[in-house]
Structure 1
Amino acid sequence: MPCHVRRPTPLEEHSKSLQNSTGDAEPMLFPMYTVPVSAILSMTTLEPHEALKLQGLLVQFDKTMGKALFVSHQWVGKRHPDPDFIQFSVLQDALRHLMSEVQYIELDVRTEVALPSAKPFATAELKSAPLFVWYDYFSCPQLEHLVSHKLVESGLMSDLAKAVNSIPLYVAQCSFFFALCPVIESEDHSKLLGPQSWASRGWCRIERCCRELSPEGSWVLIRSAKQMELICSPLATPGSGSPGEGQFTVEEDRQRLGPILLKTLQRKLRFLLQSGDLVGYRVLLNHQPLFLRGFHVPAMYDLVPGFDADAFKDGALTVSKFLYNNGFSKVTEVDQVGWTPLHYAGCRGDPDLVRALLAQRANPNVKAAKDNVMAGALPKWRVMTSVAACRHHEVARILIEAKAELSGTQLVGACIGNDPEGIRLLCEVGGVSPHAADHEGGYGVLAINLACMYGATAALEELVAQAVRGSASGMRQGSIDVSHAFWLAACFGNCSAELVDTLLDLRADVNEQFHLSVRHPVGLLVKVMALKHRFGKQTHFSRMSFHAKGATPLMQAVMGGQYEAAAALIARGARLDLRNSHGYTVADLAKGRSPPVFLVQAFAGQLAGCLRVASLALGSGYGEEGETEENDVMIEVHF
């Protein structure tokens, strides 16, 4: 019998046609000024672009010269990024540490556990070629506010505006991206800056998204000079959210940035096609609404040429066009990671498209075969899990009506998205218990614990409310099990002062010492990782697992660089004298990690600094989307 030869899809043919094409490079509106790393390490003060240009320290970068590092950060002062040189000195010490003392930047804990295909970053890359640093204060003009109003009145764009509009191209030129996020106070001592506040800022989110959409993709979160981690999945991004939903000092920036982000998305889509990564292409193509949420910019889906709309009847047009642009030949097809067309349609969140696919008998209960790093999706994820994580509520209702199977895994998706409305929908309409666990993900973690692991305070509060509501209706006792919740939150990241307060209000034990049985999936995982550490395979999580037995939330927070949470725990009565099973106190575990001054003082019995940090963290308001601050002066004056 003759063998059936599968014909390539139009998407595959289009991808192949682009593989030898470089495309037209988009020109930068303003040169990419950088400073050699040797000059960075010798700085004792920060001077603006104009001053460094006069001194001859600025270098117009191109890739033939070496490699570039983009530094994303918040401004500490209203008129200067770092008046006391506190934040920048952390960058200097971190660079020295990376270029002389360590071989790898380890993965963050959640990525290490959930996505085994992810790899750590070899620091030899930083030394493989001359290194140049992009930092806004000396890479972009800073003194144009003296003439900016005249430029606006004349309809001209200032050099600062040109530089800011070129930021996505600067990021794309950089081999490395560091988010500089030590926990420090603002210049006027009114706000706390750190990973949580950095992740809430609209401009920082734009920079982060530009990096995630660049060919390199991964980036480094610097918590202190010796505490940093590699982020290579949306699963791990602290306070992950759409740039358009972030905080902007100048509200007009929110809408000006929409078209810029859309162009960045299109560049990444072209790159994925050129490299033949069709799974990554499908993920990004259909996640456009998530990236563009908060901007009034329509996504673009029809990127594969040659579709003949006249060949289809109205009822089949929507599905046919979707299959064509996503490289599928039929509704029931699965790709290399086991995702179906409905998986990708669920990420897009288009109710009409999902209804049309279901009408053609798309199965909402297919489980993914593998993890999908770009989507931040674990093996066995169903369509509803991604829908819940993306906060597509109308699509979730459609899937519930279509009798999609629901479990704690979908509830976990809503927790990852920190989505109270999604949790209400799953519990009240879908009948999922707020006490459910993620058994499909492989670890059997309760939804309540996943919310803590992702720092999802709003999701945590809604789960509690659902449990109480269920108790009132006689469904189940309303108490929520918060045992080990503190430890998991501190271990897996994103533990804020707000989350500490919420857990204490739920009567979690601030000094609970970890003794989880190996019969529990998390307990078994910790035991296995501790053994790996003992026998030489040392990673961020293996180190924390080795010290886990008898460890308090405070110990885990300090080991994980959760310094805001550590201050909040101390402020709320965490003991400093307790020891883990190896006999270490929290001060012992902090050695060699360069913790902030307020923690060093606390270890010596001086708690005032931690009390102040905890108070500032609770009053900073960075958890609320859309609020504004005044410390992004570079952006504040550029239009």
Structure 2
Amino acid sequence: MYVVKVSDFLEMEGPPEPHHVLKHKGLLHEWHPGMFVIFISHQWLGAGSPDPLGQQVSVLRHALQAFIDGSMKVEVDLMRTFGDVGGATGCESVAQGHLFLDWFAIPQLTERTKGVNDDSTVSDTARAVQSIPAYVESCDMFVALVPDLVHNDTGLQCNYSTWLSRGWCRAELWCRLLSNRKDTSVVVIFSAREALYIVPLDWQKNLISDGLFTVERDRSIVVKLGETALRSKIEHLQRWGPLTDYRFHLAQEPRLLKRKQQGFEDLHSFLQHFDFNSLQAAVKHESGMTGMLCSMLAGDVGILQVLAENGGDVNARVSGLDHLGYSDSLTLLMVAAYVGQDPKVLSTLMTLRADPNLACISESGSIVTASWLASQPEHVQVLLEYRADFAMSPPLTGVAGVSSVNTVKAFLNARCDPGSLSPNGFGPMYSAPFFGRGNPDCHSIMQLLLSARGDVNAQAKPRGWFYWECMRARVSASLWGLEACSVYKRQMASLPGATPLSIAAVTGDQRLVKLLLENDAEHVPNDRGDKPEDLARAAGHTELLPILSTFCV
């Protein structure tokens, strides 16, 4: 395993040099236990070189330097995070650390020097690729480098959502999150001024088998890496615990590996599979993975019905799963909608008297219902059949940022209004750019909302707790300046009076910015007086400035 010193990397300039050049210069070092190593996962911006113009590595250099001098810290995303972030490795070790970047570390077939034996190079590369899980396991910090940039050959945008779509990137992510290290947190670098921990559902919803591969024959190899990582995680949890995490991964295994979910032969086999010592233990409502949750996530409606008939509470609120991405107080029905469970699971729950209109209050003050979390278009019809109240908390606000374009279309067909606002004053025109970073359908969803007469220049008017949180952030921005604020405070301070264009600018989505400008978005300042270009600059998304100035009148 070859790595490069962070101190040497910070002195480099321009596009990254390949393995054999750095090896000749003496800048590659063999890994040994005790090294602090940062694994860099990234999407290539060229066919023959990962970063032909050196744009990605420039962002990385600035971000690493900011970690070292303390001007930037890794923050928890507003949509929550995965893993024990409180115990994650701090950035104080970065200065003396080393980097693992594929172009540096792995012999490249595209960059052979004269006299190098082809068979030897191919063999080294093959062994290195197969060793990726071990490389990830050996690294102390995992970074997804995802600034919004243009691919040198295709001209397509490359950003967080496209990184999530790549099969190899998904495999690296799975290897990290399914490793048996105590710290499995993932840092996502969006710009030189923005680094966040990954959102839990961003890995659970992105299956390796569905990923995009430049070389199609890689798919079967990479899928096996993912299967091995998941099986290893389950076996480790079975032996060492915690039991909640073991049951969670076991229940999710068929879906994560895209295998047909097989029903259990009988109740006994279910209880044995999930390590419940009795039926009473399975129906008991307690913190963690209850029997009701296990059967729901496993998609076994027969067992679900048996448990409900024996005292299982179909309206029970989950607890103790926050670290896995499921907030306390979500209902079974909400979780089923959120994970994209088969519609028959939702209909079974509601047949068993699960209430589709039970709600919980999110940290931002939104009233969250099962409709708010729907992730399949078929969910919409099922919820309507069981009298879900779409007026109670407009579901488009929830689904516009994280669901599919077909699900949003289904809600629009059910006469949901793109201009409707949640009780906290937030609506779908804002949630699409604000929460859509990891959503490949975000651009199409915004087009759909605009075609349904969503107001491209509507200004956000936060209410209640949400408003006061924004006001507190504005005080910090006034005292220290927007650029010096944390990501959270910058985003909160920017929201009052923000248009969809302003939000797209602060999150750095080039494609969305262009779409909004093409649909007559104006450079309307927010309540602080910040225009979209000011917000883009403060967040470090300077690549947006030429686009915004071109459309500015």
Regarding TM over 0.5, the answer is yes
Counterparts of 2:251 and 2:60, CA distance in 1: 36
Counterpart secondary structure, 2:99: strand
* Contact 2:167–2:208 (Cα < 8 Å) also in 1: yes
Counterparts of 1:594 and 1:480, CA distance in 2: 30
Counterparts of 1:447 and 1:326, CA distance in 2: 40
Aligned equivalent of 2:10? 41
Aligned equivalent of 2:430? 487
**For 1:100-111, what aligned pairs fall within 5 Å after superposition?**
100-102=69-71, 104-111=73-80
Counterparts of 1:103 and 1:326, CA distance in 2: 49
Aligned equivalent of 1:544? 491
Counterpart secondary structure, 2:526: coil
Change in 2 beyond 3 A, CA 1:457/1:63: farther
- Give the CA deviation at 1:328: 8.2
- 1:345 correspondence with 2:314: no
The amino acid across from 2:326 in the alignment is A
* Contact 1:199–1:240 (Cα < 8 Å) also in 2: no
Which runs of 5 or more residues in structure 1 are unaligned? 1-31, 302-313, 438-445, 468-477, 519-523, 609-639
Looking at both structures, which has the greater relative contact order when contacts are Cα pairs under 8 Å and sequence separation is at least 6? 1
Please report the RMSD computed on the Cα atoms of aligned residues, expressed in angstroms.
3.6
- 1:372 correspondence with 2:317: no
Counterpart secondary structure, 2:209: helix
**For 1:335-414, what aligned pairs fall within 5 Å after superposition?**
335-337=286-288, 339-368=289-318, 370=319, 372-393=321-342, 394-407=344-357
Aligned equivalent of 2:25? 55
Aligned equivalent of 1:500? 446
Counterparts of 1:273 and 1:315, CA distance in 2: 22
* Contact 2:376–2:403 (Cα < 8 Å) also in 1: no
Which string of whole-angstrom CA distances, capped at 9 and with x for unpartnered residues, describes residues 145-196 of structure 1? 999xx979xxx98322222222122112111111111111111243111112
Aligned equivalent of 1:259? 224
Counterpart secondary structure, 1:204: helix
Change in 2 beyond 3 A, CA 1:275/1:560: farther
Change in 2 beyond 3 A, CA 1:62/1:463: farther
- 1:556 correspondence with 2:503: yes
Counterparts of 2:70 and 2:45, CA distance in 1: 28
* Contact 1:412–1:450 (Cα < 8 Å) also in 2: no
Change in 2 beyond 3 A, CA 1:239/1:503: farther
**For 1:605-624, what aligned pairs fall within 5 Å after superposition?**
605-607=549-551
Which string of whole-angstrom CA distances, capped at 9 and with x for unpartnered residues, describes residues 440-459 of structure 1? xxxxxx32101123264332
* Contact 2:171–2:225 (Cα < 8 Å) also in 1: no
* Contact 2:337–2:375 (Cα < 8 Å) also in 1: no
* Contact 1:221–1:228 (Cα < 8 Å) also in 2: yes
Counterparts of 1:142 and 1:464, CA distance in 2: 49
**For 1:143-162, what aligned pairs fall within 5 Å after superposition?**
143=109, 158-162=123-127
Change in 2 beyond 3 A, CA 1:455/1:353: closer
Counterpart secondary structure, 1:324: coil
Aligned equivalent of 1:322? 273
More off after superposition, 490-499 vs 546-555: 490-499
- 1:166 correspondence with 2:131: yes
Change in 2 beyond 3 A, CA 1:327/1:61: farther
Aligned equivalent of 2:40? 71
- Give the CA deviation at 1:321: 1.1
* Contact 1:109–1:491 (Cα < 8 Å) also in 2: no
Aligned equivalent of 1:14? none
Paired residue for 1:83, among 47, 52, 65? 52
- 1:586 correspondence with 2:529: no
**For 1:136-535, what aligned pairs fall within 5 Å after superposition?**
136-143=102-109, 158-214=123-179, 215=181, 216-231=183-198, 233-235=199-201, 237=202, 240-272=205-237, 276-293=241-258, 315-324=266-275, 330-337=281-288, 339-368=289-318, 370=319, 372-393=321-342, 394-407=344-357, 416=373, 418-427=375-384, 429-437=385-393, 446-454=394-402, 456-467=404-415, 479-483=417-421, 484-494=427-437, 496-518=442-464, 524-531=465-472, 534=475
Counterpart secondary structure, 1:34: strand
Counterparts of 2:2 and 2:371, CA distance in 1: 42
- Give the CA deviation at 1:322: 3.3
Counterparts of 2:460 and 2:499, CA distance in 1: 6
Counterparts of 1:89 and 1:543, CA distance in 2: 23
* Contact 1:563–1:595 (Cα < 8 Å) also in 2: no
Counterparts of 1:491 and 1:358, CA distance in 2: 38
- Give the CA deviation at 1:553: 2.0
Change in 2 beyond 3 A, CA 1:567/1:413: farther
TM-score, L = length of structure 1: 0.73
Counterparts of 2:28 and 2:501, CA distance in 1: 43
* Contact 1:91–1:225 (Cα < 8 Å) also in 2: yes
Aligned equivalent of 2:546? 601
* Contact 1:323–1:330 (Cα < 8 Å) also in 2: no
The amino acid across from 2:215 in the alignment is V
- 1:97 correspondence with 2:46: no
Counterparts of 1:558 and 1:100, CA distance in 2: 26
* Contact 2:194–2:487 (Cα < 8 Å) also in 1: no
The amino acid across from 1:227 in the alignment is E
TM-score, L = length of structure 2: 0.83
Counterparts of 2:105 and 2:410, CA distance in 1: 44
Paired residue for 2:516, among 565, 569, 577? 569
The amino acid across from 1:561 in the alignment is G
Counterparts of 2:191 and 2:111, CA distance in 1: 33
* Contact 1:435–1:448 (Cα < 8 Å) also in 2: no
- Give the CA deviation at 1:74: 1.0
The amino acid across from 1:548 in the alignment is L
More off after superposition, 179-188 vs 270-279: 270-279
* Contact 1:35–1:134 (Cα < 8 Å) also in 2: yes
Counterparts of 2:219 and 2:131, CA distance in 1: 16
* Contact 1:102–1:123 (Cα < 8 Å) also in 2: no
Change in 2 beyond 3 A, CA 1:408/1:89: farther
Counterpart secondary structure, 2:275: helix
The amino acid across from 1:389 in the alignment is Y
Which string of whole-angstrom CA distances, capped at 9 and with x for unpartnered residues, describes residues 583-627 of structure 1? 222233333432133x21244x3249xxxxxxxxxxxxxxxxxxx
Counterparts of 1:545 and 1:447, CA distance in 2: 22
The amino acid across from 2:315 in the alignment is N
Counterparts of 2:52 and 2:546, CA distance in 1: 23
Aligned equivalent of 1:23? none
% same residue: 25
Counterparts of 1:225 and 1:326, CA distance in 2: 52
Counterparts of 2:251 and 2:58, CA distance in 1: 41
Give the number of aligned pairs.
524
The amino acid across from 1:425 in the alignment is V
Counterparts of 1:206 and 1:416, CA distance in 2: 26
Aligned equivalent of 1:22? none
Counterpart secondary structure, 1:172: helix
- Give the CA deviation at 1:567: 3.2
Which runs of 5 or more residues in structure 2 are unaligned? 361-367, 422-426
Change in 2 beyond 3 A, CA 1:176/1:132: same
Counterparts of 1:298 and 1:140, CA distance in 2: 38
Counterparts of 1:433 and 1:359, CA distance in 2: 27
